[in-house]
């Protein structure tokens, strides 16, 4: 089952009220009306970004755009660099070459936002990414923040 506001409210004994209060206080929308919010501070690698874009674009093409212009925004900028040395290198030989780039997601901040998408369509995204991406995130509507 996807992590939505309804699910959190039903399972208050599991998630406690502090989770709901944090979501209510810290979550804000920049552009869209529906967003994906990170539930904790976590590492988001560029490999995950490619998979997420691919999934959204495939579903975006399947949902035929008739009257409303559907748009989505991804607010992710790389801010963490990983470097590595070769195995037999000595101390003081420098930092080493860059291995990969990652993004550190802050808790309860939106990293993807949608406009003119159906809420039921976006609720399926966590289930579709559950086995592909090791992330925990929440789907929220703009109106849900006021009803918590």
Summarised one tens digit per residue, pLDDT across range 73-131 is 888 888 888 888 877 777 777 777 878 888 898 888 889 999 888 888 888 888 888 78
Give the helix ranges, DSSP H, for 4-45: 5-10, 12-26
The pLDDT value recorded for residue 49 is 85
Summarised one tens digit per residue, pLDDT across range 44-79 is 888 888 888 888 887 766 655 555 677 888 888 888
DSSP state of 80: E
| Closest residue by Cα to residue 137 from 125, 147, 146 | 125
The pLDDT value recorded for residue 66 is 56
Question: pTM to 2 decimals?
Answer: 0.71
Angle at 112 between CA 137 and CA 4, to 5 degrees: 35
Domains and CATH numbers, the chain: 5-84+97-146 (3.90.1170.10)
Quote the tokens at residue 101. Answer: 């780039």
């Amino acid at each position: 089952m996807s992590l939505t506001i309804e699910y959190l409210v039903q399972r208050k004994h599991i998630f406690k009220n502090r989770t709901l209060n944090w979501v209510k206080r810290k979550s804000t929308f920049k552009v869209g009306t529906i967003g994906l919010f990170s539930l904790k501070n976590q590492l988001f690698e560029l490999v995950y970004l490619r998979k997420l874009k691919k999934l959204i674009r495939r579903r975006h093409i399947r949902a035929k755009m008739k009257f409303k212009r559907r748009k989505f925004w991804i607010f992710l900028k790389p801010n963490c660099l990983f470097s590595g040395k070769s195995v037999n290198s000595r101390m003081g030989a420098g930092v080493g070459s860059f291995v990969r780039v990652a993004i550190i997601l802050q808790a309860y901040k939106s990293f993807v936002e949608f406009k003119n998408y159906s809420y039921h369509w976006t609720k399926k995204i966590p289930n579709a990414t559950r086995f592909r991406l090791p992330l925990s995130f929440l789907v929220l509507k703009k109106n849900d923040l006021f009803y918590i």
